[in-house]
Amino acid sequence: MASLEEIRETRLKKLEIIKASGMNPFPIETNRDFDLTTIKQNFEKLSKDNKEIGKKITLAGRVMAIRGQGAILFVPLFDGTDTFQSVFKKDSIDEKMFKLFSDAADIGDIISVQGELFTTQKGENSLMVSSWTMLAKSLRPLPEKWSGLQDIEERFRKRFLDTLMSEEVRERFVIRSKMVTAIRGILDRSGYLEVETPQLQPLAGGTNAIPFETHHNALDIDLYLRIAPELYLKKLLIGGFSKVYEIGRNFRNEGIDVTHNPEFTMLEFYEAYSTASKQMDFVESLVRETVETVCETTKIPRDEIEIDFSRPFVRISYKDLVEKDAGFDPVTANLETVTAKAEKLGLKIEASDSKERIIDNIYKKVSRAHIIEPTFITDYPVDMLPLAKRSEKDSSVVDAFQLVIGGMELVKAFSELNDPIDQRARFNKEEANAKAGDSEAQPNDLEYVEALEYGMPPAGGVGIGIDRLAMLLTNTKNIKEVIFFPTMRPRD
């Protein structure tokens, strides 16, 4: 078997053959009359018109195979919309053009073909080629059609080949795109205004995470890639906008696993004069409608089971869930009890870990992974969510919820803290955690506290992980499968 370099050298020689024939192997113009989906869907009408008018039809696409030999070649083309067969027959095309194709064309080349529509003896709708033109000469071979890219990491590094060779992978990203479109439609219809907030921020706030740092030369200041748009979106509530949302990239300098990528897509939306409890119903309807619109059903597979979104979502408090699965009350348990349980479960504990972080790691181990049906988890301990408002029924917890489906956290939401005095105290607690070594503690954002002092309406805010929702809708287990170009370690 020839090496990649030998194949490339051969194709470079073929490139010179094309140039020597007077054909430009990389022309500017593409002359085509229809995309291949249109040809396939309207073949009978276009074939009839083709014969009546006598006008030849021009198509374009990538050569996906070259079958046959001698006087006839069958060449399926793919243009990103569909695949359609072209036929090169020696007595239907200029002899020099036929020889040029035989000598210089390869699988992977992008060409245009001109000719007449017809149906083969085997009943396959095709185009009989009378002339052809090279549009882009491929210098590297495509992966073998049936085995494709076997190296999983190579699939992620060379996603363009992964999508080119696999209809299943292409469809996965089509589903993701339809999902985002459906969500936008729901929010727009519900009166939300789509906005954009800075991705370069002087403080990395809005959640607990380690940021990426950078430096702006002209201003000579350090900046951070945003970890969340939350604080800026809430400033817009202060500024008089009642319902806002943003779908955009966040960046967190954290580990990579099957549900985490350092660069990911989040939806966050905020409604003035609302609460987390009220928004829970909206989130349930949004997720249900999105599933039904994109999947055309309310039932989707997850491994060997089926998740039915037509049923009401389960609702359970964080306290009840942890008590049931871990055996202690997350609100009243002391650090020793929590630490002992974590050690018994084999969980790693960092010296800087707060009690709340250890509890959350326990919850993720004993509870979250086993929640398959859509489940709202409510009422988290105050210190777990420093930007959330305390519950008026129980000041030890905040009015908040998460939505877990298929063992994944998809949604986090809470009634937004709008008391600037309480917010300052919570930031001070976070600052103390940072000094104790907590690298994910939130910064003490005094500008945000100042903004709150002008008055922010009571509000509910929701964050939805777009990548994880796409994982759910495509029944995939690795976040890299739904991100076009995931973060990867470069090969040596």
Pairing of strands 213-216, 221-225: antiparallel
In the predicted model, is pLDDT for residue 52 greater than 80? Answer: no
Task: Give me the domains of the chain, ranges plus CATH numbers.
Answer: 4-142 (2.40.50.140), 161-313+373-482 (3.30.930.10)
CA distance 280 to 350: 34
Amino acid identity, position 388: A
pLDDT of residue 115: 96
User: Residue range 237-262: average pLDDT?
Assistant: 96
pLDDT of residue 146: 46
Burial bucket for residue 104 (CB in 10 Å: 0-12, 13-18, 19+): buried
Q: Which residues contact 127 (CB under 8 A, 6 or more apart)?
A: 39, 57, 59, 84, 85, 86, 87, 113, 115, 116, 117, 118
CA distance 63 to 141: 11
In the predicted model, is pLDDT for residue 54 greater than 80? Answer: no
Reported as a single tens digit per residue, the pLDDT across 430-449 is 999 889 888 888 999 999 99
CB 233 within 8 A of CB 267: no
In the predicted model, is pLDDT for residue 104 greater than 80? Answer: yes
pLDDT of residue 145: 58
DSSP 3-state percent helix, strand, coil across the chain (nearest 5): 40, 25, 35
- Report the run of H or E that residue 319 belongs to, with start and end: helix 318-326
In the predicted model, is pLDDT for residue 69 greater than 90? Answer: no
Reported as a single tens digit per residue, the pLDDT across 167-192 is 999 999 999 999 999 999 999 999 99
pLDDT of residue 152: 83
Q: Which residues contact 215 (CB under 8 A, 6 or more apart)?
A: 221, 222, 223
User: Residue range 92-118: average pLDDT?
Assistant: 97
In the predicted model, is pLDDT for residue 403 greater than 90? Answer: yes
Reported as a single tens digit per residue, the pLDDT across 267-292 is 999 999 999 989 999 999 999 999 99
Block residue for tokens 């793919």? 78
The pTM (predicted TM-score) of the whole model is 0.92
